[in-house]
Structure 1
Amino acid sequence: MKKFLVSLFALACCSYSIKAQKQYELAGEWKAASISQVKENGERISFPGFELSNWQPAIVPGTVLTTQLANGQIPDPFIGMNNKYIPDIYDTGRDYYTYWFVREFSETAAAGEQVWLHLRGVNYSSDVYLNGHKLNRQLHKGMFLRQQYNITKLLRKDGKNRLAVIVFPPDEPGNPNGGQGGDGTIAKNVGHQYVAGWDWIQPIRDRNTGIWDKVFIEKTGSVNLQNPHVVTLVPGKRKPTGGQQPAILKVSAELQNTGSVPLTGILRYTIDGKTVSKSVSLKPTSTTEVSLPDYSLVNPKLWWPNGYGEPHLYPVKLEFVAGGKISDREEIKVGVREITADWNTTTRSKQIFVNGQPVFIKGGNWIISDAMLRFSEARYDAEIRFHRDMNLNLIRIWGGAISERPEFYEACDKYGMLVMQDFWGSGDCNGRWLDPMKKDDQWTRRKYPDDHTLFLVSAADQIKMIRNHASLAIWCGGNEITLPQDIQTPLRDSILPKLDGTRWFVDYSNSDDMSYNFLGGNGDGPYGIQDIKTFFNHRTWPFNSEIGSVGAGDYASLERFIPAPNLVPPVYKKEIRRETVDSVWEYHKYIGYGKSIDAYGKASDLKDWGRKAQLVNYDQYRALMEGFSSRMWDWYTGVIIWKTQNPWTALRGQMYDYYLDPNACLYGLRQGGAPVNFFYNPADTSLHLINNTFVHQYDLMLVMSLFDKDGKERSLGQVFAEIGPATTRKVMDINRAIREAAKTEGVFLSLKILNLDKKVVSQNLYWLPDSSGQYSGLANMPKVQPEISASAIQKGKIAVTINAPAGGPISFFNRLSLVDPTTKKRILPVFYEDNYVSVLPGESRTVVLDYTPKNGVKPMLALEGWNMPEQFISIK
């Protein structure tokens, strides 16, 4: 085992930072061709002068499908039934999706300079050629194992170089037979599993074959600084504000001496204007790991999760200096924080602490940003920002997908999102359950993948790639199953302690080590739409890793990917107790709303259906988060929603659609997860106050009112309250008042928190059904004509104010949209301070919109309310 691990760590050392001293990406200008069109070998293809005029433009980073899509050879697989008509690799054979990718670039090496080629991700195996030479000795395999080559001696003197990469699909593409992960054999590879199809996606036809991640050129001196490792220790129990006791930094890095002679130099790093250094002697043609002296950072600015404090990041610059010259430099951003986990004996589940403070986990399950691996820093930033806006504090990366990219983690660092990173396995493919859709039996699937050594080498490599990110909080062995024992044991006991050693490792996503399962079943759920009372009175697993509900968008979202003939609403059938839906809806994995839409009156068309679905969406996710929060530290230490986003145009579980258009799920969840919240428990008609911060909250004025459909108010009183940090408690019961007021047509319940300046800290508006469970009053609400203004307050920011007239009804459930003035289509993405907002009679609400302006487009505001027709308003 010791010899094996030494070999493993050596193989996994090909790492680098995004911000090295001299580094650039080989983006754009790639060409591609199928192997059926190219008979020459790699040495010939990579030699400058080989004719490429009949090759097609290629997308790198990307896949064969993204290249085919860009060249108009396939229809968009995210729209309608298009994906059904793209040839599947299981039927065509692997050669059909085996492609060459070629890129020319200009580069030479100056005296004493080393030039490196990095490929951060190829799926699944590849051979790499440069200027007529093969770079890899044997076929490179593994979706998650990066490649690094010293190409200094192979660069042409005239600087005109050609790189050629042949990419082979996964060894086992699997049969997409409709099972979770198809027939399961996709898991025989060390790669992602969803590409053979799942209950939220149709199969990806090429299984994402291609150079799916970035390709870089890096230039260093004779010493290459790689795999820096920064560990921060924050002893004691800290607070987000005020002076801080020192924090300890432990920094190390690997130094690769490429020269044939010994070398002496200085390894140093700088943080907060201070420099820590160490003199180092390096043997020739060797790699040495060097640890710098521990450093005590005085009065540090700490990194905190979203909702608890600022996620401060320090720029850190590491350099190796020899002979007075910088040989190599790496720049990273470091969040000073310490994350620990302990067992809560009351809930019987793990509890997360950051800087000594207990953090109630409000999380979302994440699949991947784009199912066809079309990543961008801007998209990552937008998606993580949406999660921040939901008032979540953790994202779990599901094990059937990937280890996420550094740019994803950079966004999580920026927005204060903790991350739980699964490794690559799932109970569905890897044998937890008996499944007639699977090709192999459970005993065989339990041993997947085929190459356990490749899995461990890849895991070590990925750990080195992302371990410095402050947001990374938890490693997880796999989704709903442990990894094979000869993978799990060295990963847990040897690899992680050596390469990281600072984070909790949970053996699988719903393990008893995470959340003791005293309820039976498989340890997660329920899934699908719920009676909202369920979230309050039905006890689930104390750290629930997956619990989900609905998530369809409105008409503007649906029409982006559903063809016009198929834009028909689902219809609930009492006799079968479920909905019937169109075939395109079925293909896009629609998860039903049951009879919940009909409680608002049968939908007249899809626009009406989509509008009513948003009311259900808001209610579902607000209740989910308030239900779990109401039993914080009593029943629960955390909850992770299945799921908060879709990387494909699926009709289920999402707070925003694939095109980054948010729906009411996001804003219901935002309200339900507010750091300080005053909320209603529908199960027992009680009111609760929660403080999910580390600060004792004093002098909160709680204001309670009922409103009928016409806007007539009945006060339930107001009272000053205070509440300690990380606490939830019952305030009062309003059973009788609610029962009487809601009996005939339902009623609105308004709950507000005011501070001593009489400013609103939180406001929560519930629409409650009548005694038969119908929202009859909403159907008969009078129309309202609020005053609406929209003003640009700075570039990319617009303030929208809604004034509801006194003496009239509530201006209810107003959906704000920023639109193109010509097409009236929504501009995406836009970040709304709040949305689906309601304004009480005689009151005013102002919402700030944040977007990226485009040259020549002056947007308009669209606003549509429940009791107000859509309006288009010019922005001053």
Structure 2
Amino acid sequence: MDTSSLMSSVLGSFRYFFSLQMGRRGIAVRMILCGALCTAATNAELSREPFYHKSNALILRSRDVHGGGYEWQMVRQVEGVGGADVSRPGFRADAGLKAVVPGTVLNSLVYNGVYPEPYYGLNNAREKKLIPDITEVGSAFYTYWFRTEFELTPAFAGKRVILRFDGINYRAQIWVNGREVGAMAGMFNRGFFDVTDVVHYQGANGLAVLVRPVDVPGGFSHKFKEVRAVGENKNGGDGQFGKNVTMLMSIGWDFTFSDGIRDRNTGIWKDITLFAVDAVELRDAFVKSELSVPDLTLSRQRISVEVINHSPMAQAGTVKAVIPEAGVRIEKRVELAAGETKTVTFVPEEYLELVFQNPKLWWPMNKGPQHLYRMTLTFEQGGKVCDTETVRFAVRQVSSDQNTPDRSRQFYVNGKPIFLHGTNWIPEAMLRNSETRTYAELRNTRQAGINFIRFWAGGIVESDYFFDLCDELGILVSMEFWQSGDTVLPADRELYRANVADTIKLLRNHPSLVYYISANERDARGIVPIKDLVDTLDGTRGWQAGSEIDGIHDGSPYKYVNPMFYYDDSASSRGSRINGLCPEYGTPCLPTLDSLKEMMDQKDIWPVNKDVWDY
């Protein structure tokens, strides 16, 4: 086999993108376990910060770690001290700690020196008891208040104030200035709260969030599975952790800590934002494009947006949509009862401007430009703009079929078949993320020639910024929704479906997102159904029930074998299949010496300390 054929064979399979969490400073070295890589220059100017849909937003990030503008404090829940106290401006707890937001309870405890760095040596090992495990100390041990104070800018004067949470884990009660304003549940739900009646437009405001861990912390009695490599198949503990709607690998998996993260990643793990509107808010705008294939000469756009009346009085006004590059300027009158929410739609049958002739298209990397249109929606009353929502979208059509010799699934973008150079994406195990890290990782992914990312079901929904960069880089993404054959199904099915629905609304404008999969290693008989949500809330992408059915197949060795077995479809006793679409494929390999020094003491590196190396 020549070099070119060898490269194509390797890159044709999904790479198993291991996440080995390591280092005193929480450095996670992600290793691509396939050997051969191709490089590609990235000349396009990439966004260095998220694309914000609201122009007047205040982002309440902590000064500690994230360099934000807000001092956050973390206080363990104690009897006699409730939200009315902790959310009062000026409240200070003697036993309070500096808090990392976004972040988790354990992030902050490690940052304050309460516990050692989990990614070093055996610090995280449950049997060492250096960091207490939630199953042994109880949920109350990791139940904390996160609090901060903020002042509103002049842009908020006379307007309604909306408090938005992008993600907490797992249950939260939210208090502002001594009053409870709402609650949240599930790791992948956003929360929106109208706090107009409780905020101070001048002076300090107190915000306090009581965050509780998952309902079911899970156990560690691993189910029996055939083991072919050290630590393999120690996945999901006893399986009960799946009852939560959360990051399943927090209980442990064979590519990371098999005994999990001690607090199960309890905390405020995504941003908190404040923004101002008048009586009416625009939310979750969506542009649905239908492209003529194969000629690619015409696209029809359908626009929808939720229009929310926050006031106790009826409201009437005009929703306007502007897409400057396409010459679109359209509007629709809308009337809302007190507290009513309506979905307003603009369709090409009524607005001919929404039919684009010879549209600029979005293509995967190396297939063409990644063109992004920008749309601005406004709600106006009497010539006054009451709220604005800006989104980016693209014109592109994605499809897939099994019209291949071995019935493997083949993907098409704009009618053209795409050869997938893929990878799994595993999150940083303790959710210590930043825009800087995301930028570096995705730029490196692009330079490695990878054009397809599988969001494995045991992980998370990455940030909006992650998808912004994938849009700009032309990297395709397949999204799986937090169910696995290694764990039981979510106990609260409606909560699970609500988290799925909100995630679809969050991501559906991103052209990089091309496919939905319900679960890792399950089939249609063993999942919580979501196909109706995919069709109703999106309708532009395909869906299937599991990660190893309907033309996607497994067969990775997961251990070192004769190198030629990775390039032969039948040579490995494991039955590896490198032809077609394989979701996990690779082999272990050693990290660099510099990485090893971040993982363990010199004395454990050589001679090899087997306990430390195996862990």
1:103 aligns with 2:140: no
**In the alignment, is residue 359 of structure 1 matched against residue 418 of structure 2?**
yes
Q: Which has the higher strand share?
A: 1
Report what 1:473 is aligned to: 514
1:792-811, aligned counterparts within 5 Å? Answer: none
The answer to whether structure 1 residue 411 and structure 2 residue 478 are counterparts is: no
Q: Could you give the per-residue CA deviations for residues 373-422 of structure 1, whole angstroms, max 9, x where no partner exists? A: 12212211211112111211100011111122212111211111100100
The whole-number CA distance in structure 2 between the counterparts of 1:166 and 1:544 is 42
The 1:484–1:61 alpha-carbon spacing in structure 2 relative to 1, beyond 3 Å, is farther
Q: Partners in 1 of 2:150 and 2:434 — Cα distance?
A: 22
1:35 matched residue in structure 2? 77
Structure 2 Cα separation of the partners of residues 350 and 69 of structure 1? 44
What whole-Å deviation, never above 9, does each CA across 1:11-62 have from its counterpart, x for those lacking one? xxxxx983213212111211111124x6311112212243335422101110
Shift of 1:258: 2.1
Trace 1:79-478 onto structure 2 (pairs within 5 A): 79-84=120-125, 85-107=130-152, 113-136=159-182, 140-177=184-221, 179-202=234-257, 203-237=260-294, 245-259=297-311, 260-272=313-325, 274-284=327-337, 285-294=339-348, 295-368=354-427, 370-430=428-488, 448-478=489-519
2:276 is matched by which residue type in structure 1?
K
1:535-565 per-position Cα deviation (integer Å, ceiling 9, x unaligned):
3332516321111112322212222222100
| Gap change, CA 1:483 and 1:52, over 3 Å in 2 | farther
Counterpart in the other structure of 1:563: 601
1:143/1:298 CA distance change after superposition, 3 Å: same
Alignment of 1:702-851 (within 5 A): none
**In the alignment, residue 518 of structure 2 is paired with which amino acid?**
G
Residue type matched to 2:256 in 1? I
Aligned-pair CA distance for 1:149:
0.4
CA shift in 2, pair 1:483/1:112, >3 Å: farther
Deviation at 1:483, TM superposition (A): 6.6
The match for 1:18 among 52, 64, 74 is 52
Task: Provide the rounded CA distance (Å) in 1 between the counterparts of 2:56 and 2:186.
Answer: 27
**CA deviation digits over 1:700-741, x for unaligned, max 9?**
xxxxxxxxxxxxxxxxxxxxxxxxxxxxxxxxxxxxxxxxxx
Instruction: Give, as a single letter, the amino acid of the residue that structure 1 aligns with 2:593.
Output: Y
State how far apart, in whole Å, the 1-side matches of 2:508 and 2:213 are.
Answer: 29
User: For residues 109 and 124 of structure 2, what CA distance do their matches in structure 1 show?
Assistant: 13
How many angstroms does 1:248 deviate by?
Answer: 2.5
Q: What is the CA-CA distance between 1:111 and the residue it aligns to?
A: 6.3
Which of the pair has more CA radius of gyration?
A: 1
Secondary structure of 2:584's counterpart equals strand
Return closer, same or farther for 1:335/1:281 CA change in 2, 3 Å cut-off.
Answer: closer
Q: Could you report, residue by residue, the CA deviation over 1:402-443 in whole angstroms, capped at 9, with x for unpaired residues?
A: 12221211121111110010001111113xxxxxxxxxxxxx
Change (3 A) 1:51 1:527: closer
Contact 2:156-2:276 within 8 A present in 1 as well: no
Separation (CA, whole Å) in 1 of partners of 2:605 and 2:156: 62
- Alpha-carbon RMSD across the aligned residues, in angstroms, is 2.1
Q: Do the aligned partners of residues 465 and 484 (structure 1) sit closer, same or farther apart at CA in structure 2, a change above 3 Å counting?
A: farther
The amino acid that maps onto 2:587 is: S
What displacement does 1:342 show?
1.8
Query: Counterparts of 1:668-707 in structure 2 under 5 Å?
Result: none
SS at match of 2:519: coil
Cα displacement string for residues 783-802 of structure 1 (whole angstroms, at most 9, x for unaligned residues): xxxxxxxxxxxxxxxxxxxx
Contact kept in structure 2, 1:21 and 1:220, CA below 8 Å? no
**1:74: Cα distance to partner?**
1.1
Deviations 1:555-614 (A, max 9, x none): 1222222210011276xxxxxxxxxx6221111xxxxxxxxxxxxxxxxxxxxxxxxxxx
Q: Is the contact between residue 476 and residue 507 of structure 1 (CA under 8 Å) also seen in structure 2?
A: yes
Query: Percent same amino acid at aligned positions?
Result: 35
Number of residue pairs matched?
Answer: 526
Aligned pairs for 1:511-522 (under 5 A) are 511=549, 513-515=550-552
Aligned in 2, Cα 1:538/1:257: closer, same or farther, shift over 3 Å?
same
Query: Which residue identity does 2:275 align to in structure 1?
Result: E
Write the letter of the residue equivalent to 1:158: Q
In structure 2, do the counterparts of structure 1 residues 411 and 111 end up closer, same or farther at CA, with 3 Å as the change threshold? closer
Structure 1 residues 547 and 166 mapped into 2: Cα distance closer, same or farther (>3 Å)?
same
Per the TM alignment, residue 214 of structure 1 is displaced from its structure 2 partner at its CA by 0.6
2:274 partner amino acid = I
Q: Which consecutive residues of structure 1, in runs of 5 or more, have no partner in the other structure?
A: 1-15, 239-243, 431-447, 518-522, 571-580, 588-876
* 8 Å CA contact retained: 2:156, 2:201: no
Residues in 2 aligned to 1:569 and 1:425: alpha-carbon distance in whole angstroms? 41
Aligned to 2:46: none
1:78 Cα deviation from its structure 2 partner: 0.9
Which amino acid counterpart does residue 500 of structure 1 have in structure 2?
Answer: D
Partners in 2 of 1:525 and 1:486 — Cα distance?
A: 24
Amino acid corresponding to residue 586 of structure 1 in structure 2? D
Q: For the residues of structure 1 that align with 2:328 and 2:163, how far apart are their CA atoms?
A: 30
Alpha carbons of 1:387 and 1:49: their partners in 2 closer, same or farther (altered >3 Å)? closer
2:104 to 51, 54, 63: 63
SS at match of 1:545: coil
Contact 1:126 1:141 in 2 (8 A): yes
Report if aligned partners of 2:401, 2:410 keep a CA contact under 8 Å in 1: yes
Is the Cα–Cα contact under 8 Å of residues 266 and 322 in structure 1 kept in the other structure? no
Match of 1:707 in 2: none
1:530 to 561, 574, 577: 561
Q: Per the alignment, in what secondary structure is the counterpart of residue 118 of structure 1?
A: strand
Preserved CA contact (<8 Å) 2:104 2:431: yes
Query: For the residues of structure 2 that align with 1:176 and 1:206, how far apart are their CA atoms?
Result: 14
**Superposition pairs for residues 631-646 of structure 1, below 5 Å?**
none
Structure 2 letter corresponding to 1:193: L
Give me the whole-angstrom Cα distance separating, in 2, the residues matched to 1:153 and 1:111.
Answer: 13
Q: 1:209 to 1:97 in 2, by over 3 A?
A: same
Q: CA deviation at 1:329?
A: 1.4
**CA distance in structure 2 between the aligned counterparts of 1:110 and 1:354, rounded to whole angstroms:** 43
Match for residue 729 of structure 1?
none
CA distance in 1, matches of 2:443, 2:588: 21
Residue 213 of structure 1, CA deviation:
0.8
**Which deviations, in whole Å up to 9, do the C-alpha atoms of 1:247-281 show, x marking residues without a partner?**
32221111112231231213212241623312222
TM, length-normalised to structure 1: 0.58
TM-score by length of 2: 0.82
CA contact (8 A) 2:218 2:240 kept: yes
For 2:380, give the aligned amino acid.
V
Summarize the Cα distance change of 1:110–1:392 in structure 2 as closer, same or farther, 3 Å threshold: closer
Bigger relative contact order, structure 1 or 2 (CA pairs below 8 A, ≥6 apart) = 2
- Give the deviation of 1:308 after TM superposition: 1.7
For residues 273 and 438 of structure 2, what CA distance do their matches in structure 1 show?
A: 20
